Amino acid sequence: MSSAERQSVAVAEAAAPVPPLDRRTRKFTARRIGTVPWWFVVPALVFFLFVVLWPSVQGAAYAFTNWDGLSATKDFVGLAQFERLLKDPGGVGAVVHTLLIAFAITVVQNLIGLLLALGVHSKIKSRNILRVALFTPAVITPVATGYLWKYLMTPDGAINQILGFFGLGALQHDWLGDADIALWSIVATVVWQFAGYSMVIFLAGLQGVPEDVLEASRIDGAGPFRRFWYVVRPELAPAITINLMLSIIGGLKLFDQVWVMTSGGPGTSTDTMSTLIYKNAFQFGDFSYGIAMALVLTAFVAILSTAQYKLLGKQGGTK
Amino acid sequence: MHKKSLLALSVAVAAALGLTACSGGSSNAGAGAGDGKTLTLAATTNEKPALDAVVAKFKEQNPGVDVKYTTSALDQYQTTTRTQLSSGTAPDVVFVWPGDGNPMATRVVGKAGFLEDLSSQSWANSFPAGIKPVTQYNGKTYSASVTFSGIGAVYNMTAMTQAGLTPPTTWSGLLQFCSAAKAKGKTAFELGAQTNWVTQLIPYALTPTLVYGPNPNFPQDMTDKKATFSDSKWTDALNKYVEMQKAGCFQANPLGTDYNASLAAVAKGDALSVVQVNSAVAAISTQAPKGTELNMLPVPASDNVADTRMAGAAGSTYGVNAHAKNKDLAIKFVNFLESPEGMNLYAQTNKALPAVPNDAFKVDPALSTLQRYQKGGKTDAFMDQNWPNARVQQTLFQVVQDLLAGKTDANGALKQMDSAYTSGS
């Protein structure tokens, strides 16, 4: 099993509704947890502190300097790099593109993922093959996916050829070269890759929906939509929460596919905060400004994912 | 805060903060601690064929010496090598860009103190006037240019003959050539503008005739704030770019076509030419049917043939890491590269010209016009080599794409470049 598959299984298990523990089991679990010595966590904590947290804090400090990423000297400039971001028209555009991508991916990917999950949760014979086939794109590296779709989306590529073959020439486009649709072409690529990932998480949730409750609602005369809305949806709440959080965070941080497919172009029409961070830090030699942008992105991810988690938590999305 | 939300927040913060963890400072770790027999070197992927040849020759002339070299794609090379330099782990010899305007340019890296002063080497004063300044910072030589590169229209002469067309020599002739090619069902100039750096090549091919030839002091005038892009003939260059697009000189979707696809179209004969750097000659040759004749010629920008100039400048350039483990060996290698033997071998393999013209070099027929312009002093350095920061060139990439997409005009585009120029002055 690949690491991506293992991760998916772990997430799926987490998303599945947890049956209530009886009193004996709860006591036993509490006693076991209570007896675990606290210092068991120390090695991992020390590793996290010195390998992740401390270098990250050190790196973040450069956002308050004018270091170019190479020179031995640097000056403290306070919040000047953050002020630049507010005045940077490219920065504002990148923030808008990032939010559009995150919103579109979150909505479309989860909607398609849910529909796929409902489809392969049925009793059709080929459901296992379909599950594997639909999940497969998620195990391909995003860079490889980007190159693949970049090739398919060229003006003479397979997509336009197929459209032409079926007499749909009017729908042919320069998918990545047209500044008005390039952003959505990238979104489509990401959705294609990760809709199967969302599907697996929804599927785990669906498998926990009690059959007897569904049967009872059917006898009471509830149609498919009412059964989904009043019986299935509440049981899927944890899966929805996890899927939304993963897709929001993934959308906000999106870099690989954008860089491979358009590098932020044409012009700046697909620049995201991540591509702008990369350009400033590594192409312009404006390292401190790049770090300032990274900190703002950090704040974006933290605020949006926490707000979303809290919101869904209040609606019973967490257990 | 709920345990799960605290965990989610921690993960999100750690993930995004990871982006900020790439930092460092200067270090002398390991400087001069080498064995004197193993040379390390890093360059971009384009240089590999030439490096294979010169390294083999260098090892043949220096028995017992080993040369370990790595090559990587341009973006990756710049990122990695800057980090290695600042952390004291860079190889002994590093590929650098001539002049300025690039994160790994000679003046940027030399100013930061990571390049060895090579002014005392015998070759340091032998460069032609167009090359010498871009190997220097503050009057000292910090890099060694090995080749001379040019930008021009690379014609598939076999396809041209079949179409009954000849390369244009004037601007009016160029527009007529575009119409004639279109009438024959061919693209006159295939443009791979989806690849960022390709977008700059047509302005680079036009401005020597329009801007830098008539006013050789233009780069200095810009430095002295006496000139700007938007108040110069750069406006004509970008307007001519748009005129070419309107005249049907390019294929239907230049912004959806990348570098590789543009060369493939010329190799197949679907397009008659492509405005490119000289290395494209070798790349097209490998894809084209055997016997295909190629020729690299200037892109005319005026109707007076005598005014036409080409962009030609220092190409492959190397510097010695100031903290190299095997500094003596590194200097010895660079000296070999600067010898006529090393320079000619390198240029021959990479389909370029030697940085210092010499009679022993046998020029590829496709590059004979570029050589003639080089020897005749009718070339001007690539513009970015004299720009004060990398942002100007990146802005050019972006505004040309906007220009081709109809999202801006020449004046708006050049005002953005002026803004990028002053932001780093």
Q: Check if A99 contacts B (Cβ < 8 Å).
A: no
Q: Which residues contact B283 (CB under 8 A, 6 or more apart)?
A: B263
The H-assigned helical ranges of B269-378 are 279-287, 327-338, 340-349, 368-375
Q: Which residue of B has its CA nearest to A70?
A: B86
Q: Residue B21 corresponds to which tokens in the numbers above?
A: 């963890």
* B2/A318 CB distance under 8 A: yes
- How far apart CA B74 and CA B148 sit, in angstroms, is 19
**Number of Cβ pairs < 8 A linking chain A and chain B:** 174
Q: Which residue of B has its CA nearest to A264?
A: B398
Instruction: Kindly report the CATH number assigned to the domain that includes residue A192.
Output: 1.10.3720.10
The pLDDT tens digits of the residues spanning B266-310 come to: 999 999 999 999 989 989 999 999 999 999 999 999 999 999 999
- How far apart CA B173 and CA B303 sit, in angstroms, is 8
pLDDT computed for residue A3 by the predictor:
44
A266 preceded by cis ω (within 30°)? yes
Q: Give how far A222 is from chain B: nearest CA, Å.
A: 35
Q: Residue A294 corresponds to which tokens in the numbers above?
A: 């990274």
pLDDT computed for residue A274 by the predictor:
95
**With 0-12 CB in 10 A as exposed, 13-18 as middle and 19+ as buried, what is B184?**
middle
Q: The domain containing residue A166 runs over which residues?
A: 3-19+82-314
The separation between the first and the last C-alpha atoms of chain B, rounded to the nearest angstrom, is 48
List of chain A residues whose C-beta atoms are within 8 Å of the C-beta of residue B80: none
Compare CB distances from B23 to A59, A178, A268 and report the shortest one's residue: A59
Does the CA dihedral B272-B276-B282-B286 come out positive or negative?
negative
Q: Which residues pair with B136 in a beta bridge?
A: B141
Q: Tell me: pLDDT of B1 over 60.
A: no
- How far apart CA B298 and CA B263 sit, in angstroms, is 18
* B16/A53 CB distance under 8 A: no
**With 0-12 CB in 10 A as exposed, 13-18 as middle and 19+ as buried, what is B415?**
middle
Torsion of CA B51, B57, B60, B65, to 10 degrees: -30
The pLDDT tens digits of the residues spanning A200-211 come to: 999 999 998 998
Domain assignment of residue A38, yes or no: no
Domain assignment of residue A53, yes or no: no
* A266/B255 CB distance under 8 A: yes
Q: Let me know if the fold of B30-146+315-356 is the same as that of B151-312+383-423.
A: yes
Q: Are B95 and B43 in contact (CB under 8 A)?
A: yes
Compare CB distances from A179 to B12, B397, B407 and report the shortest one's residue: B407
- How far apart CA B13 and CA A252 sit, in angstroms, is 13
- How far apart CA A286 and CA A135 sit, in angstroms, is 40
In a 3-state reduction of DSSP, which class is residue B187? strand
Q: Check if A306 contacts B (Cβ < 8 Å).
A: yes
pLDDT computed for residue A125 by the predictor:
82
The pLDDT tens digits of the residues spanning A217-273 come to: 989 998 888 998 899 999 899 999 999 999 999 999 999 999 999 999 899 999 999
Q: Give how far B265 is from chain A: nearest CA, Å.
A: 12
- How far apart CA B264 and CA B156 sit, in angstroms, is 11
Mean pLDDT over each residue of chain B, to the nearest integer = 90
- How far apart CA B156 and CA B160 sit, in angstroms, is 6
In a 3-state reduction of DSSP, which class is residue B144? strand
- How far apart CA B264 and CA A176 sit, in angstroms, is 19
- How far apart CA B173 and CA B186 sit, in angstroms, is 17
* CATH of range B151-312+383-423; options 1.10.10.10, 3.40.190.10, 3.40.50.2300, 3.90.950.20: 3.40.190.10
Q: Are B101 and B283 in contact (CB under 8 A)?
A: no
Q: Residue B213 corresponds to which tokens in the numbers above?
A: 């030839």
- Architecture of domain B30-146+315-356 in CATH? 3-Layer(aba) Sandwich (3.40)
- Give mean pLDDT, residues B248-276: 96
- How far apart CA B83 and CA B274 sit, in angstroms, is 35
Full DSSP string of A35-67 = HS-GGGGHHHHHHIIIIIIHHHHHHHHGGGB--
Is residue A36 very low, low, confident or very high in pLDDT (cuts 50, 70, 90)?
confident
Q: Check if A310 contacts B (Cβ < 8 Å).
A: yes
Sequence spans of domains, chain B: 30-146+315-356, 151-312+383-423
A102, A122, A161 from A238: Cα distances, Å: 20, 21, 42
Q: Residue B154 corresponds to which tokens in the numbers above?
A: 């690379």
The H-assigned helical ranges of B39-156 are 48-61, 74-87, 106-111
Number of domains in chain A: 1
Interface of A with B in 202-241 (CB under 8 A): none
Q: Which residue of A has its CA nearest to B111?
A: A71
Domain assignment of residue A305, yes or no: yes
pLDDT computed for residue B22 by the predictor:
36
Q: Are A285 and A69 in contact (CB under 8 A)?
A: yes
Mutation for testing the A interface, residue in B9, B194, B423 having most A CBs under 10 Å: B194
Q: Residue B279 corresponds to which tokens in the numbers above?
A: 């290395």
- Give mean pLDDT, residues A47-51: 93
Q: Which residues pair with B379 in a beta bridge?
A: B310
In chain B, pLDDT over 70 holds for what percent of residues? 92
